[in-house]
Amino acid sequence: TMTIVKMTNQLLAIFPEEARYFEKQGASVSWVGHPLVDRMQSSPTREEARARLGIEPEQIAIALVPASRRQELKYMMPIAFEAARQ
């Protein structure tokens, strides 16, 4: 953390708690928001999403949400897929 603070003049934070954390560490921080969080405010309700996806109310639904880093995808997704298959 201190390395990041020392190496930067200005940090752009995507989460408010991230901004607060780095400010406490002495960084100059601007909270810029996160586009996905902004989009989620207009997302469908659980019932609407299930209806759109053809998932019955009594069916169990599990979301496999991959990471964004190539290495995480390479090593973690096969494990997640195998777990889901079982």
Q: What is the pTM of this model?
A: 0.47
End-to-end CA distance of the chain: 40
Distances (CA, A) of 17 to 9, 13, 21, 41, 47: 19, 9, 6, 19, 30
pLDDT tens sequence across 15-72: 899 999 999 999 999 999 887 777 766 778 899 999 999 999 999 998 888 777 888 8
Q: Domains of the chain: which residue ranges?
A: 1-43
Q: What is residue 84's predicted lDDT score, i.e. its pLDDT?
A: 86
CB 33 within 8 A of CB 12: no
